[in-house]
Structure 1
Amino acid sequence: MKTILVLLKGYPRLSETFIAQELLGLERAGFSLILVAMRRPTDKKRHPVHDEIRAPVWYLPEYLHEEPVRVLRALWKVRRFPGFNRALKAFLKDLPRDVSRNRFRRFGQAVVLAAEWPKDAGWLHVHFIHTPASVARYASMMNGMAWTVSAHAKDIWTSPDWELREKLADADWAVTCTRVGYDQLTMLSGARRNVHLSYHGLDLDRFPPFTGARSARDGSNPADPVRLLSVGRAVPKKGYDVLLEALARLPTDLAWNFVHIGGGDVLSRLKEQAERLGIAGRITWKGALDQRDVLQHYRDSDLFTLACRITEDGDRDGLPNVMVEAASQGLPVVSTTVSGITELFADGENSLLVAPENAEALAAALTRMIREPDLRRNLAARAEHKVRTEFDHKNSIADLERLFTASWNREN
Structure 2
Amino acid sequence: MTDAPPRTSAIAYVAARLPTLSETFVYRELMGLRSRGRTIVPVTVRKPVGPFADPALNALAGEATRVYSWRSALALVPAFLIRPLAFMRIYDEACAVDLDSAKARLKFMFQAWMGLATAFRLRGRGIGHVHAHLANTPATVGLYLARGLRVPFSFTGHANDLFVHREALQFKLEEAAFVSSISRWHQRFYDDIAPGGSRPVIRCSVTMPELAGDGANIVSVGRLVPKKGFDLLIKAFARLDRAGQRLIIAGDGPERRALVALAEAEGVADHVDFLGSRPHAEALAVIRSGAVFALPCRTSSTGDRDGIPVVLMEAMAAGKPVIAGRLETIAELVEDGNSGLLVPPDDVAALTRALQALVDDPAKGRKMGLAGRKRVAEEFSDAINWDRLEAAIDAAKDKK
Same fold (TM over 0.5): yes
1:304 alignment partner, SS class: strand
Q: Point out where structure 1 has 5 or more consecutive residues left out of the alignment.
A: 216-225
* Offset, 1:108: 4.6
1:386 alignment partner, SS class: helix
**Distance of 2:274 and 2:182 partners within structure 1:** 30
Amino acid in structure 1 at the alignment position of 2:10: T
User: Does residue 278 of structure 1 match 2:267?
Assistant: yes
- Map 1:181-196 → 2, pairs under 5 A: 181-190=186-195, 192-196=196-200
CA root-mean-square deviation: 2.5
* Offset, 1:88: 2.5
Q: Which residue of 2 aligns with 1:98?
A: 101
**Distance of 1:340 and 1:96 partners within structure 2:** 26
The answer on whether the counterparts of 2:211 and 2:318 sit within 8 Å (CA) in structure 1 is: yes
Q: Which residue of 1 aligns with 2:364?
A: 375
Q: Point out where structure 2 has 5 or more consecutive residues left out of the alignment.
A: 1-7
Amino acid in structure 1 at the alignment position of 2:78: K
**Distance of 2:114 and 2:348 partners within structure 1:** 43
Residue number among 219, 222, 226 corresponding to 1:232 in the alignment: 222
The answer on whether the counterparts of 1:87 and 1:141 sit within 8 Å (CA) in structure 2 is: no
Amino acid in structure 2 at the alignment position of 1:230: S
* Offset, 1:138: 3.6
Q: Which residue of 1 aligns with 2:319?
A: 330
Tell me the TM-score normalized by structure 2: 0.89
* Offset, 1:159: 5.1
Q: Which residue of 1 aligns with 2:393?
A: 404
Q: Which residue of 2 aligns with 1:58?
A: 65
Report how many aligned residue pairs link the two structures. 388
Q: Which residue of 1 aligns with 2:251?
A: 262
1:260 alignment partner, SS class: strand
Q: Show CA shifts across 1:54-92 (max 9, x none).
A: 993121227xxxx4xx55533322333131111222124
Tell me the TM-score normalized by structure 1: 0.86
Q: Which residue of 1 aligns with 2:346?
A: 357
Residue number among 202, 208, 211 corresponding to 1:209 in the alignment: 211
Q: Which residue of 1 aligns with 2:5?
A: none
Instruction: Note closer, same or farther for the CA distance 1:79–1:44 as it changes in structure 2 (3 Å cut).
Output: closer
Residue number among 124, 127, 132 corresponding to 2:133 in the alignment: 127
Q: Which residue of 2 aligns with 1:75?
A: 76
**Distance of 1:71 and 1:95 partners within structure 2:** 26
* Offset, 1:315: 1.5
Q: Which residue of 2 aligns with 1:318?
A: 307
Amino acid in structure 1 at the alignment position of 2:291: D
**Distance of 1:155 and 1:373 partners within structure 2:** 38
**Distance of 1:16 and 1:371 partners within structure 2:** 34
The answer on whether the counterparts of 1:330 and 1:377 sit within 8 Å (CA) in structure 2 is: yes
**Distance of 1:116 and 1:384 partners within structure 2:** 44
- Map 1:233-252 → 2, pairs under 5 A: 233-251=223-241
316-325 vs 86-95, greater mean Cα deviation: 86-95
**Distance of 2:398 and 2:116 partners within structure 1:** 28
Amino acid in structure 1 at the alignment position of 2:238: A
Amino acid in structure 1 at the alignment position of 2:211: P
The answer on whether the counterparts of 1:14 and 1:46 sit within 8 Å (CA) in structure 2 is: no
Residue number among 154, 167, 170 corresponding to 2:172 in the alignment: 167
Amino acid in structure 2 at the alignment position of 1:235: V
Residue number among 197, 206, 218 corresponding to 2:201 in the alignment: 197
**Distance of 1:105 and 1:271 partners within structure 2:** 40
Q: Show CA shifts across 1:132-166 (max 9, x none).
A: 11222344445544311122222222355x82211
Q: Which residue of 1 aligns with 2:334?
A: 345
Q: Show CA shifts across 1:181-228 (max 9, x none).
A: 1110122231x3321111222122xx2223x3x25xxxxxxxxxx511
The answer on whether the counterparts of 1:150 and 1:175 sit within 8 Å (CA) in structure 2 is: yes
The answer on whether the counterparts of 1:14 and 1:47 sit within 8 Å (CA) in structure 2 is: no
The answer on whether the counterparts of 2:210 and 2:318 sit within 8 Å (CA) in structure 1 is: yes
**Distance of 1:203 and 1:78 partners within structure 2:** 41
Amino acid in structure 2 at the alignment position of 1:5: A
1:100 alignment partner, SS class: helix
**Distance of 1:386 and 1:140 partners within structure 2:** 36
